[in-house]
Amino acid sequence: MSRAAGQVEAFLEMLSAERAAARNTLIAYEKDLADARAFLTAHGDLDGASTEAVEAYFADLGARGLSPATAARRRSAVRQFYRFALAEGWRADDPSRRVEAPKKGRPLPKIIARAEIERLIEAARARDGGGPEGLRLACMIEVVYAAGLRVSELVGLPLSAVARDPAYLIITGKGGKDRLAPLNAPARAAVKAWIAARAALLPKGDKANPWLFPSGRAGGGKISARRFAQLLDETAIAAGLDPARLSPHVLRHAFATHLLEGGADLRTVQKLLGHTDIATTEIYTHVTAERLAEVVAAKHPLSKRRD
């Protein structure tokens, strides 16, 4: 193993042990640093590259036509590696330090109104003539909106999570970190209705299915995130909504936005969403600010005055 390869391995171990980085994050960083090493091989590899060589690599990322997000992540991986190398004493300088990262615009999350969510839930409940499929879908929407879950967290809920009509769920999120996700009264009522009908959706031989939201297909297992997204699209059309405005993640956005509009503080919303960095949560303050500006422009009496 080369010196640079050993340093990369130590860097990844640090991310895993000290920052509890998720497996997918470690895989992405490993690929990013492998890409940097491939470019820098002729310039002393990662451990011996000059500032000029790192600048050339960053410029090359922009010239390849990569997506802004991919290029930004690769730059970030290299920067973090060199900060780690400097702290470990492997280098006396940080060759990535003087290279300014390009400004990357961040799109505002899509949002839907409370009334639209109510229409969506009613349309979901009416699916399958009000049968088990409709109750399952309505329950999934209620739980996502009540607790702000990621879709992977939703479909991964075990049946045991709601065994005693809980007021909250314990969710294991990114990085293996647990958080409390409260359930409101409508969500708890939806869970009760779904549990009462759940057995009817289970195929023969799958009565011991451990998932809260089983797939309902032969072979058992849980409903997939992709299938949930498809059902949302179908239900949006039934509710008279544009399916392009809806996704499982949009329901999570709605949870956060509506909390902030209702007066919740940013730190609380950060904890409920399971965000490690509050900067990720701050995007919702821009959304609520825009909504407030629209309300003022439309409703404030001074906005209707004419010169």
Does the annotation count 249 as an active-site position? Answer: yes
Token pair recorded at residue 39: 């470019």
**Integer angstrom CA distances of residue 236 from 61, 62, 137:** 39, 39, 12
Does the annotation count 174 as an active-site position? Answer: yes
Which residues are CB-neighbours of 32 under 8 A, at least 6 positions away? 73, 74, 77, 78
Distance, in Å, from the CA atom of 148 to the CA atom of 178, rounded to the nearest integer, reads 14
Q: Which of 43, 83, 110, 174 is catalytic?
A: 174
Q: What are phi and psi of 182, to 5 degrees?
A: -70, 150
Bridge partners (DSSP) of residue 214 are: 222
Does the annotation count 150 as an active-site position? Answer: yes
Does the annotation count 286 as an active-site position? Answer: no
Length of the chain: 307
For the chain, the first-to-last Cα distance in angstroms comes to 76
Q: Which of 73, 125, 127, 275 is catalytic?
A: 275
Give the containing element (helix H, strand E) for 160: none
Does the annotation count 164 as an active-site position? Answer: no
Q: Which of 73, 252, 253, 258 is catalytic?
A: 252
Q: Which of 73, 74, 125, 150 is catalytic?
A: 150
Does the annotation count 275 as an active-site position? Answer: yes
Active site residues: 150, 174, 249, 252, 275, 284
